[in-house]
Amino acid sequence: MATPQGYGWSRGRSTLASIRLCVLQFVADPQWLIPSMIAPVIFGLVAFGLFANSGPNFLVYAILGAGMMSMWGQTLYGSGWATGQDRVWGTLEPTLQAPTPYLYVVLGRVLWNVVSGLIGGLIVYVVVVTVNGAAPTLPNPAEFALLFVFVMLTLASVGTLLAAVYVYTRFAGFIQNIGEFAFYVGTGCMFPVVLLPFWTNPIALLFPPTWALDALRYNGIPGYVGFSWGFGWDLVGAIATTAVYLGISTSVFRRVERQVLEKGSLGDY
Amino acid sequence: MADPPAIETQRLTRVFESRKGFLFTEKTRTEALRGIDLTVEQGAIFGLLGPNGAGKTTLTKILSTLLLPTSGSAHVLGYDVTTQVEHLRPRIGLVLGGERGLYNRINARENLRYFADLYGVPRGEREHRIDAVLDRVGLSDAADRRVEEYSRGMKQKLHIARGILHGPELLFLDEPTIGLDPKSARETRKLIRSLVSDGVTIFLTTHYMFEAEELCHRIAVLTKGRIAAHDTVAGLRQLVGGDRTIEIEDYGFDDDELAALRALSGVSKVVTEEFGARIRATIRIHAQRPTTEDIRALLSNHATLALRERRTSLEDVYLDLVEEEAN
Ligand SMILES: Nc1ncnc2c1ncn2[C@@H]1O[C@H](COP(=O)(O)OP(=O)(O)O)[C@@H](O)[C@H]1O
Ligand SMILES: [Mg+2]
CB contact under 8 A, B119 and A99: yes
Cα B144 to ligand 1 centroid, rounded to whole Å: 36
Q: How far is A151 from chain B (nearest CA, A)?
A: 30
Name the residue facing A93 among B101, B120, B132 (closest C-beta): B101
Q: How far is A82 from chain B (nearest CA, A)?
A: 12
pLDDT grade for B317, boundaries at 50, 70 and 90: confident
Best of A11, A13, A20, A21 to substitute, by most chain B Cβ atoms within 10 angstroms, is A21
Cα B187 to ligand 2 centroid, rounded to whole Å: 21
Judge whether B99 and B155 are in contact, CB under 8 Å. yes
Specify the pairing of strand B71-76 against strand B7-20.
antiparallel
What are the tens digits of pLDDT across the range A110-154? 888 888 888 888 888 888 888 888 888 888 889 988 998 898 889
Best of B58, B118, B162 to substitute, by most chain A Cβ atoms within 10 angstroms, is B118
Judge whether A25 and B105 are in contact, CB under 8 Å. yes
Q: What's the pTM value of the predicted model, to 2 decimals?
A: 0.85
Which value does ipTM take for this structure?
Answer: 0.84
Of B119, B24, B117, B9, nearest to B73 (Cα)?
A: B9
A100 inside 8 A of chain B by CB: yes
Question: Where is the domain boundary, B237, B270, B297?
Answer: B237
Question: Do both B125 and B259 map to the same domain?
Answer: no
Question: Do both B146 and B34 map to the same domain?
Answer: yes
Q: Which domain covers residue A156, as residue numbers?
A: 14-263
What are the tens digits of pLDDT across the range B234-279? 888 777 666 788 999 999 899 999 999 999 988 888 888 888 889 9
CB distance B96 to ligand 1 below 6 Å: no
Q: Which domain covers residue B303, as residue numbers?
A: 241-311
- A120 part of a folded domain: yes
CB contact under 8 A, B162 and A98: no
Q: Choose between B215 and A44: higher pLDDT.
A: B215
Report the alpha-carbon distance of residue A258 to residue B66 in Å, rounded.
10
Domain with residue B262: its CATH number is: 3.30.70.260
CB distance B56 to ligand 1 below 6 Å: yes
pLDDT grade for A195, boundaries at 50, 70 and 90: low
Question: Do both B198 and B85 map to the same domain?
Answer: yes
- A58 part of a folded domain: yes
Question: Do both B264 and B166 map to the same domain?
Answer: no
A11 inside 8 A of chain B by CB: no
- B322 part of a folded domain: no
- B1 part of a folded domain: no
Residue A162: the pLDDT is: 84
Cα B59 to ligand 2 centroid, rounded to whole Å: 9
Question: Do both B250 and B226 map to the same domain?
Answer: no
Number of domains in chain A: 1
Question: Do both B206 and B266 map to the same domain?
Answer: no
- A5 part of a folded domain: no
Report the alpha-carbon distance of residue B29 to residue B120 in Å, rounded.
38
Judge whether A74 and A35 are in contact, CB under 8 Å. yes
My answer on whether omega of the bond before B290 falls inside 30° of 0, hence cis, is yes
Question: Do both B102 and B175 map to the same domain?
Answer: yes
Judge whether B138 and B187 are in contact, CB under 8 Å. yes
Question: Where is the domain boundary, B188, B220, B237?
Answer: B237
Question: Do both B169 and B279 map to the same domain?
Answer: no
CB contact under 8 A, A90 and B101: yes
Q: Choose between A195 and B85: higher pLDDT.
A: B85
Instruction: Name which of A233-237, B60-64, B199-203, B235-239 the model is least confident about.
Output: B235-239
- B211 part of a folded domain: yes
- B323 part of a folded domain: no
Report the alpha-carbon distance of residue A210 to residue A193 in Å, rounded.
8
Question: Where is the domain boundary, B219, B237, B255?
Answer: B237
pLDDT grade for A1, boundaries at 50, 70 and 90: very low
- A88 part of a folded domain: yes
The percentage of residues in chain B with a pLDDT greater than 90, rounded to a whole number, is 70
Name the residue facing A25 among B103, B117, B168 (closest C-beta): B103
Q: How far is A168 from chain B (nearest CA, A)?
A: 14
Question: Do both B46 and B163 map to the same domain?
Answer: yes
Domain with residue B191: its CATH number is: 3.40.50.300
- B154 part of a folded domain: yes
- B320 part of a folded domain: no
Number of domains in chain B: 2
The arithmetic mean of pLDDT across residues B29-56, rounded, is 94
Question: Do both B291 and B217 map to the same domain?
Answer: no
